[in-house]
Amino acid sequence: MTGGHVSLDGRAVLRGVDLQIRAGEVVAVLGANGSGKSTLIRALLGLVPLSAGRTELYGVPPARFRDWKRVGYVPQRLLAGGGVPSTIREVVASGRIARQRRLRPSSAADRAAIARALTAVGLADRAGDPVAALSGGQQQRVLIARALAGEPETFVMDEPTAGVDAASQANLADTLSKLVASGRTVVLVAHELGPLEPLISRAVVIKNGRVAHDGEPPSAVGAHALPGHDHLHPHAEPAEGGPLTLSPGTATTGE
Ligand SMILES: Nc1ncnc2c1ncn2[C@@H]1O[C@H](COP(=O)(O)OP(=O)(O)OP(=O)(O)O)[C@@H](O)[C@H]1O
């Protein structure tokens, strides 16, 4: 993203964001409630239009991007089940859609990926249950499994650990560490990193719709880079050609 601005209901929510995500990075997007974290990652994916600036996925503007199997998105809330009685397996299977040819039945590879994803989040034994009956944290695990099932190169996760119990958070950290070791890219929004902290290679702190810090995660990310911490670090030099490109530029230091 380069010079990314987003206005919602006439209000400036992102204000000149420059951000480039390089392949293989594990980026935590941190910031106070309402600072614009979710809007930023939605804008990176083209789910929210920019009012100014530009953004690219693998070098292509979202409106022209077709290679969605490369990107797995975990939204903040489960929308897939809203009103429609879907099972856990059905929602997770929908993560394969970008990989499937139209009108072809699911393949053995699809079924194996879905089974692996269900196992990774500890829901294999509940695959036939309706998602509507699950707690918020369990629904979040279904959304994580849906992204895992798609076997994308880049994971974009909006608070994947929100409302998720400690054991499942540790489980997610374990799953992500294997994906990162195999070269996957991760961008995640978090309030508290918890067991994900050791995985993070870069922290981007959003404050009032601007990048207030972009660089090394401080050693104590939990205390240091979270909302309210004002200490700033030199900005990391962006490189060309990462999967999510909000062009390099000057990050601001807030108000
Ligand atoms: N559809 C919308 N219309 C109007 N304002 C919106 C809309 N969505 C978000 N906002 C506002 O934009 C601001 C940024 O919201 P956003 O969800 O991006 O913040 P966030 O940092 O992800 O917050 P949280 O940590 O609470 O999830 C907030 O003030 C929010 O109220």
Q: Is the CB of 31 under 6 A from ligand 1?
A: yes
* Alpha carbon nearest to ligand 1 atom 3, residue: 8
Note the pLDDT of residue 83. Answer: 65
Residue 120 has, within 13 A of its CA and on its CB side, a CA count of 26
Residue 190 Cα to ligand 1 middle (Å): 14
Which residue is associated with the tokens 């990774």? 120
Give the number of domains in the chain: 1
Rounded Cα–Cα distance for residues 117 and 182 (Å): 16
Give the Cβ contact number of residue 43 at 10 Å. 26
Taking CA 152 as the corner, what is the angle to CA 66 and CA 28, rounded to the nearest 5 degrees? 105
Least confident span in 5-9, 126-130, 217-221: 217-221
Residue 14 Cα to ligand 1 middle (Å): 10
pLDDT digits (tens, 9 = 90+) for 160-169: 988 888 988 8
- Cα–Cα distances (Å) from 231 to 29, 193, 235, 238, in that order, read 16, 19, 12, 21
Residue 38 Cα to ligand 1 middle (Å): 7
Which amino acid, one-letter code, is at 204?
A: V
In a domain, 82, yes or no: yes
Residue 59: is it exposed, middle or buried by C-beta count within 10 angstroms (0-12/13-18/19+)? exposed
In a domain, 252, yes or no: no
Mean pLDDT value across residues 28-46? 95
* Alpha carbon nearest to ligand 1 atom 24, residue: 33
- Non-local (6+) Cβ contacts of 227 within 8 A are 30, 31, 32, 33, 35
pLDDT digits (tens, 9 = 90+) for 82-136: 566 889 999 999 999 887 766 666 788 899 999 999 999 999 999 999 998 888 8
In a domain, 104, yes or no: yes
> What atom in ligand 1 is closest to the CA of residue 42?
18
In a domain, 253, yes or no: no
* Alpha carbon nearest to ligand 1 atom 16, residue: 36
Q: What is the CATH number of the domain that holds 35?
A: 3.40.50.300
Concatenate the DSSP letters of all residues of 207-218 into one string: ETTEEEEEESPP
- Model ipTM value: 0.93
Give the Cβ contact number of residue 228 at 10 Å. 8
In a domain, 45, yes or no: yes
Q: Is the CB of 213 under 6 A from ligand 1?
A: no
Task: Tell me the residue range of the domain where 43 lies.
Answer: 2-246
DSSP H helical ranges for the chain: 37-44, 88-93, 108-120, 136-149, 166-181, 221-224
In a domain, 66, yes or no: yes
Phi, psi of 110 (to 5 degrees): -60, -50
Closest by CA position to 222, among listed 5, 18, 7, 28: 28
Which residue is associated with the tokens 């994947």? 160
Q: Is the CB of 10 under 6 A from ligand 1?
A: no
Residue 39 Cα to ligand 1 middle (Å): 6
Output the average pLDDT for the chain: 84
Residue 88: is it exposed, middle or buried by C-beta count within 10 angstroms (0-12/13-18/19+)? buried
What DSSP designation does 236 have?
P
Distance of CA 242 to the CA centre of its chain: 15
Residue 183 Cα to ligand 1 middle (Å): 31
In a domain, 255, yes or no: no
Note the pLDDT of residue 13. Answer: 97
pLDDT digits (tens, 9 = 90+) for 132-159: 888 888 888 999 999 999 999 999 999 9
Q: Is the CB of 75 under 6 A from ligand 1?
A: no
Confidence check: pLDDT of 224 > 70: no
Q: Is the CB of 48 under 6 A from ligand 1?
A: no
Return the structure tokens found at 47. 């789910």
Distance of CA 164 to the CA centre of its chain: 16
In a domain, 89, yes or no: yes
Rounded Cα–Cα distance for residues 235 and 61 (Å): 25
